[in-house]
Structure 1
Amino acid sequence: MEQQITRFAGKYVTGFYFPEIHLTDVIEVLILTFLIYQIMVWIKNTKAWMLLKGIIVLAAFILLAAIFKMHTILYLAKNAVTVMATAAIVVFQPELRRALEKLGEKKFLSSVVPFETNREKVRFSEETRESIVEAAFVMGKAKTGALIVVEQAIRLTEYESTGIQMDCLVSSQVLINIFEHNTPLHDGAIIIRGDRIVSATCYLPLSDNMGISKDLGTRHRAAVGMSEVSDALVIVASEETGKVSVAQGGQLLRNISQKDLREKLASIQDKKTEVNKIAALWKGRHNHEKKTNG
């Protein structure tokens, strides 16, 4: 029996290479898988998708040139790679920046490395939340167009500077008055940071997403665009239909109810106060050493 197994292994298994797998190899594969997945998702949701399709077509053309030994085309392609890569970085600089920002938003980073600690437990008060909900639906009922940006972790300083600086507490009366027709501040968006309105008449980036319904105007496209480049929650009151919508993470939820908006605001109201495992272990060890020394 052993001789048969030996002969079989010598005849069929010889020549096969079975690499030795270590823990670091598994971790490396998982990291690469995650990065490739994030790149694919990013490419699908931006103009880079068109670039990728163009690169695939160009690569197929170069492959055919290599098969048929078209030396001139291969020479030109070889010398143009560096220039094309540099041009792609310059042209798609905004998309690359957004991709890095989105990567920085991932929750797993805060659970591994404490980049920042938030002493406050809530981002804004319940009074602010209720004022936003009340104002949004009062303006919707009156068909007053409104665009409200509720800031989260990413600071919106560059968009804040495009508007008129303010510093006042959030209230439904103030919000309604700002967006009232024929008032100096009604055009554009307002930015809310914590319990305060920090800027009004702000210009927001428009989304390039072709999947947005054609019956939606610039206000809704700006809301989606803002949610694509930041983690902000953007509330829209339609001037045409009076419906209230919410944009977050590049997705637009149309015609939501007061309950839905309240839940959306409540979901971002609490700041993450969980201490990461490394910090917790270090704190526990430090406390143990203090008790021992004491």
Structure 2
Amino acid sequence: MLDNFGIRDIIDVILVAVLMYQLFNLVKRSGTTTLFNGILAFIILWIFVSQIFQMRLLGSILDMFGNVGLFVIIILFQDEIRRFLMNLGSNRTFNTIAKFFGVKKQASIKEDSITALVLACMNMAKTKTGALIVIEQEIGLGMYESTGEIINSTISTRLIENIFFKNSPLHDGAMIISKGKIEAAGCILPVSQKTDLPKSMGVRHRAALGIATETDAIAIVISEERGKISYAVQDKIYQNVTPETLQNILNAALRANKNRAANQTTSPTQPKDS
């Protein structure tokens, strides 16, 4: 058996290992690690029974479960599969192909708009006006924009404050900033199912963490109860940040986007302070 083991088989094993590692990271972030380990243990048992020990009776029983197992896995891990495909579609290889055909991705937010956004967040924090603002990065948020009202407007401090005014019909949903504009408001976002979050975090914080887990977006939250600014990125949330810290984070994200566009490289946005 090992005599026929060549370079192609080595590449095959490496690709499977990388795929399993990526899948494990996805399910780990979603809190379904135990379920994933159970499925992995079943697959290993199936291989031993059917291929190595060649137990016909037990192997046939496991084969029956295996035939429907694919559909069960799709149902159980539909969110993780969608997240994996979204991450795959945002890969720099696909971005390079898109740019080769002349498809250029515009910056999610411009430098002069960051000041207006931070000022709006600071004003809403002072008046304890609840808000949830999501800034698109590499992964598109079109599917979430469709759940709200399309605005497609220039970013301005007054407009942001008016949208999240308590009597506004759109204040309960999320605002999505994309391509340098306010694309939509009143949007519905996925809510994080993490069980280790502080009880002080409300639905807005969980929605911010949910969108940051499923995509590479930056989600800003203004607490209605405490009047504090928080932001979520890469499945982590940072509470009670200052307007200066928020501006530094957004400026760093803008620089990272410019570097990706110039160098065809991708590097996740890493917060420097919280």
Q: How does 1:49-60 map to 2 (within 5 A)?
A: 49-55=33-39
Other-structure match for 2:268: none
Q: Which runs of 5 or more residues in structure 2 are unaligned?
A: 266-274
| Aligned CA distance change for structure 1 residues 103 and 213 (closer, same or farther; 3 Å) | farther
Alignment CA distance shift 1:215-1:131 (3 Å): same
Q: Quote the residue 2:210 is aligned against.
A: 225
SS in structure 2 of the partner of residue 236 of structure 1: strand
Amino acid at match of 2:154: L
Identity %: 33
Task: Tell whether 2:234 aligns with 1:249.
Answer: yes
> Could you report, residue by residue, the CA deviation over 1:137-163 in whole angstroms, capped at 9, with x for unpaired residues?
211121110000111222212211111
TM-score, normalised to structure 2, is 0.78
Corresponding residue for residue 292 of structure 1? none
Distance 1:47 1:88, change over 3 A: farther
Between structure 1 and structure 2, the one with the greater Rg is 1
Alpha-carbon RMSD: 3.4
Per the alignment, residue 98 of structure 2 pairs with 115
* Counterpart position of 2:78: 93
Q: What's the secondary structure of 1:201's corresponding residue?
A: strand
Contact map agreement 2:208 2:221 (CA 8 A) in 1:
yes
Matching residue of 1:287:
none
Letter of the 1:212 partner, please give it: L
Q: 1:154 — aligned with what?
A: 139
Correspondence 1:136-175 to 2 at 5 A: 136-175=121-160
Aligned position for 2:261: 273
1:205 equivalent in structure 2: 190
Equivalent AA in structure 2 for residue 88 of structure 1: I
Task: Tell me how many residue pairs correspond in the alignment.
Answer: 256
Is the CA contact (8 Å cut-off) linking 2:106 and 2:180 kept in structure 1?
A: no
Give the 3-state SS of the residue equivalent to 2:139 in structure 1. coil
Instruction: Report deviation, 1:51.
Output: 1.9
Deviation at 1:220, TM superposition (A): 0.5
Question: Residue by residue, what CA displacement relative to the aligned partner does 1:36-60 show, whole Å, maximum 9, x if unpaired?
Answer: 3212211211254232243367579
- 1:62, 1:73 within 8 Å by CA — same for their partners in 2? no
CA distance in structure 1 between the partners assigned to 2:4 and 2:128 by the alignment: 67
Q: Cα deviation per residue 1:115-153 (whole Å; 9 max; x = unaligned)?
A: 336757854322210011111121112111000011122
CA distance 1:256–1:18, change in 2 (3 Å): farther
> TM-score, normalising length from structure 1?
0.74
State the distance in 1 between where 2:72 and 2:6 align: 40
